């Protein structure tokens, strides 16, 4: 399954034409267009005829040019010589009159063009708001990506319970893998989200009998699936719900034969959680066991969906270490979800029981009691999924 696409952040944009600056620009473009569409009026706007040049005179004061005519008044060359002051005054007044006429004509034409422009210009609203998308609290269909509310808004972590001891955990190492498979395992997109909060899960007060076993397991699967599907839908990824199958001591699955002492497992070949045909747990059973079992096996389905299972080389020389990283990551997530599930009612006494139980455990699949305790307790404090990233930790923390 491929990683989801990285979409750059988007923000609202003003629609074209909004703001006084754009209105002015559109008015100028319209004004130019009006002028070009009405060439007739521009063509009739004739600049008044320019007067011919005055007779040129030589340095000695004699005429060297032709006679000059202004508006039909003919003046001879000799008249210019005999009355130079009066003629120059008359010329000046004529020039001023011509300039005034030209200015008047140009002003009249420009006023007409402005009036036409204002009449034809569309009226824009004083203010306009960019339409905002409507949102819903949950996806309409699984994997559609049609989610208005970010999963982190739904899964904001609650305050730490008073009974949970204050503890500062060291930051997990920064991912160093360089291959594409390393990126999938160490830097998965899903690590950026808060651990989803299971809601609507059934409350368990007593140990269920065999008749209640399968029904309870299905209800737990339903509530934890509802929590995780919101994350995948927000990422725009198709995401299917795993199935539950009950097996007896001699069962089998597409992933191989089933060992009679296995408490449950997830098979990616058919995306199914297999549970033994017995009641939850045995011996010193505690109320948290059904939640822990289903939540942990369900997270293996998440690991499969984001590509972790396919990216790990299970035949490598360190395959046992890879299995421990795989299992401890699920253990870390399941204790976090156990704490977040109101129906589970996980409290201070459950916390002490959990520590005692982990201190006695040693497992080929999950490693030493120290490693199991470390990751299980770390999960109680891990707000984001990245807080359970076992794949970047040194080998001695997953031994």
pLDDT tens track for 375-394: 999 999 999 999 999 999 99
Backbone angles phi, psi at 200, to 5 degrees: 75, 15
| Confidence (pLDDT) at 53 | 45
* Total residue length of the chain: 399
Q: Which of 265, 365, 280, 368 is nearest to 314 (CA)?
A: 365
Mean pLDDT by 10 residues, the chain (399 residues): 41 38 38 39 39 40 39 37 50 73 69 47 32 29 46 91 94 88 93 96 84 88 96 92 86 84 88 82 70 95 97 91 96 97 94 90 84 96 96 94
Q: How many CB atoms lie within 10 A of CB 235?
A: 20
| Confidence (pLDDT) at 166 | 95
| Confidence (pLDDT) at 122 | 35
How far is residue 224's CA from residue 299's CA, in Å, rounded to a whole number? 9
The first and second tokens of residue 201, run together, are 């899960």
The H or E element spanning position 244 is strand 243-247
Are the C-beta atoms of 322 and 210 separated by less than 8 Å?
no
Q: How many CB atoms lie within 10 A of CB 180?
A: 10
The H or E element spanning position 273 is strand 272-276
CB proximity list for 26: less than 8 A, separation 6 or greater: 17, 121
How far is residue 347's CA from residue 91's CA, in Å, rounded to a whole number? 109
């Amino acid at each position: 399954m491929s990683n989801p696409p990285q979409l750059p952040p988007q923000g609202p944009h003003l629609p074209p034409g909004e703001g006084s600056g754009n209105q002015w620009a559109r008015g100028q473009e319209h004004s130019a267009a009006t002028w070009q569409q009405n060439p007739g009026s521009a063509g009739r706007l004739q600049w008044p005829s320019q007067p011919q040049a005055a007779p040129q005179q030589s340095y000695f004061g004699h005429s060297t040019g032709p006679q000059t005519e202004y508006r039909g008044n003919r003046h001879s060359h000799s008249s210019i010589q005999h009355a130079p002051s009066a003629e120059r005054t008359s010329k000046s007044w004529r020039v001023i009159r011509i300039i005034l006429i030209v200015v008047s004509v140009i002003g009249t034409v420009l006023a007409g063009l402005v009036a036409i422009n204002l009449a034809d210009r569309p009226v824009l609203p004083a203010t306009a708001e960019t339409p905002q998308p409507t949102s819903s609290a949950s996806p309409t269909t699984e994997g559609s990506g049609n989610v208005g509310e970010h999963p982190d808004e739904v899964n904001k972590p609650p305050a730490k319970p008073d009974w949970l001891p204050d503890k500062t955990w060291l930051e997990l190492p920064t991912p160093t893998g360089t291959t594409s498979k390393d990126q999938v395992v160490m830097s998965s997109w899903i690590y950026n989200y808060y651990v989803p909060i299971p809601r609507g899960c059934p409350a368990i007060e007593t140990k269920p009998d065999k008749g209640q076993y399968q029904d309870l397991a299905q209800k737990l699967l339903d509530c934890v699936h509802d929590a995780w599907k919101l994350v995948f839908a927000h990422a725009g990824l198709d995401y299917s719900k795993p199935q539950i199958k009950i097996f007896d001591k001699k069962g089998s699955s597409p992933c191989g034969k089933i060992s009679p002492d296995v408490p449950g497992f997830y098979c990616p070949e058919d995306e199914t959680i297999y549970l033994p045909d017995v009641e939850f747990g045995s011996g010193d059973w505690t109320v948290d066991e059904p939640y822990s079992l289903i939540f942990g096996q369900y997270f293996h389905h998440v690991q499969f969906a984001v590509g972790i299972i396919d990216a790990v080389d299970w035949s490598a020389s360190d395959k046992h270490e890879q299995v421990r990283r795989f299992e401890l990551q699920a253990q870390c997530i399941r204790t976090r979800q156990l704490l977040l599930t109101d129906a589970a009612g996980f409290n201070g006494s459950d916390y002490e029981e959990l520590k005692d139980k982990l201190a006695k455990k040693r497992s080929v699949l999950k490693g030493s009691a120290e490693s199991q305790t470390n990751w299980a307790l770390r999960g109680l404090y891990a707000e984001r999924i990245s807080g359970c990233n076992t794949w970047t930790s040194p080998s001695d923390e997953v031994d």
